[in-house]
Structure formats: C-alpha cells, structure tokens
Amino acid sequence: MPALMSACAVVSPSGEPALSPTELAEFYHDMAAPYGTPVDEERVASGTRVAHRALADQLAAVRTVNAPPDLLILTHALPDLHPFTAVAPHLDRLLGGGALAFGISQQGVSGTFTALRLVDRYQRSGRCATAAVAVLEQSTLPCPHPHVPTDGLIDSGVLLEFGAGGGPVLRGIEAFAPEERPGPRLAELAAEDPEGTLLVLGPCVDDDGGTTDRVAARTDTYGTGVWLALADNLRTWAEQYRTVVLCDTDPESGRSHLAVLRVPEQD
C-alpha cells in the first residue's frame, strides 16, 4: 500500500508579469465568444495571473524528495490560467523525468481522490514503486464560478509523494453518491479509535464525527483545502494521531470522497 513519504505546498506565489491583463482578457473573449459566455474583464485585470505551470515550478523548488517518481498525476478542480496546457510533462521534467505523467480534469474536487485510487492500483499491480500527485488551483477566473468562495480564492498547490514506506499508509479511498451523506461513515471511522483519529474536512462536508478531533479546510480554497492542511501538518499529525481521514465534497456534483491514512506502529 502506498505510504505518504512527503508533502509540500505553495500558497499565493508571485504572478506572471509577462502576460498583460489585456492580452489575457482578449484570449478569454476569443475562447468564450462561440459559446456566448461573458468575460469579466475587471476580474481578469485584478487577478494574480498565476498559471498552473508557475505553481508546478514553485512546488518543484520546495520539494524535499530527491528521486524522480515512477508515476506523476496532476489534478485540478478549476481551470488553468491557460486552458489546454499540458503541465504534467513539464512538472515531470522538473522532478527528474521518466515518469508516466498525465492530468485529471473535469472531475472537480473528486479528481484528487481519483488520483489516489490510481496510485494505489498502480503500486499494487507492480507498475510503480513511487508516485507523486500534484493538486493545483489558480484564482484568475474569467467569469464567476457558482461555488468558488465569494470572499476570495488563493493560488495554491500541493505535491504529495508516495513510496513503499516511511510515512502514513493509504489504507482506503471511499466514494459517496450525491444522495449519500459521508457523515455516518466518518462517525464510524472515528468510533474505532476516537482519541487517535483526526478528521480533515472540506467546507461542504456533512460532519457526524462526534467529539473526535477535526480540522476544517481553509475557506479561501476550492479543491486544495484538505490537501494544504495535510501538507502543512503531516509530520505533526503523524506523531499525534494513528489515523487521519481526509474528506471533501464536490459542491457541483454533490459527490463526496474520503481517504484514510494510517500511521504504522513503531517497533
């Protein structure tokens, strides 16, 4: 089973001065015009203009693992500043090259959980020994998104790196249909070890975890929140808890997912 060896994050890095707001707005107009979608030029002009490639560059710079991964999956719940740009191969080169690298999109918040399932399957089948999952989110959107926080969205990225040992083990990923509530399952998992379990919850999660410790994802994120919390606290949580459950709900589809990390017992 995959073990989370390392996790790093970047938040609100500097933008892209090479691309002017006018050039970006013109690009969005050309792309949206055939579909009759209005572009908010003021929103574009006031944006930070941090593309996924810039976030990938920053993640590679703060990464602590030296060896290149065998598998690299890039996910994002919101579109890139430059849609249709293949950032996964670029990040693969920065991490050493040679990985099977691809991206997951059009799944919203669910995309990262899909990536974890793939990491688990690839490792179990012997097709990879090490894997990396990059979760990217940029805030310069040409038109309002119905579920993006109205009080602001930050540019953020997370890189999770998995191997055969050396960290919390990915013990399972579960999915819930839109009509299902993850709360009862969270309560069930928490009841197995109330004092040794931590729940890390996205903003739309229905929480029935009782008195078990919990952490809420920051409200200025959309799809990166629970993963930012994990990257910021991985070492501390591994020392304080035996089980960490990350749960998030996609506000567009209503689908929920959870991932269970278990800290191996020390000899």
Domain count, the chain: 2
Question: C-alpha distances in angstroms, 153 versus 63, 150, 184, 260?
Answer: 24, 8, 30, 27
The percent of the chain in helix, strand and coil, each rounded to the nearest 5, is 30, 25, 45
Is 250 contained in some domain? Answer: yes
Question: For residue 112, what pLDDT is reported?
Answer: 98
Task: List the one residue out of 239, 167, 245, 237 whose CA is nearest residue 3.
Answer: 167
Question: Do both 155 and 37 map to the same domain?
Answer: yes
pLDDT of residue 25: 85
Binned average pLDDT, 10 residues per bin, the chain of 267 residues: 96 77 85 83 88 96 94 96 91 97 96 98 96 96 84 94 92 96 94 95 81 92 97 96 97 96 80
**Best CA proximity match to 50, nearest among 141, 151, 150, 139:** 139
Q: Give every CB contact of residue 6 below 8 A, 6+ residues apart in sequence.
A: 63, 64, 65, 159, 160, 161, 167, 234
- pLDDT score of 267: 44
Query: In terms of domains, do 148 and 177 share one?
Result: no
Instruction: Tell whether 57 is covered by a domain.
Output: yes
In a domain, 267, yes or no: no
Q: Please say which residue of 144, 163, 182 terminates a domain.
A: 163
Expressed as residue numbers, the domain containing 199 is: 169-262
d(CA 180, CA 67): 40
Q: Kindly state the helix (H) or strand (E) to which residue 173 belongs, with its residue range.
A: strand 169-176
- Closest by CA to 92, choosing from 100, 80, 82, 81, is 100
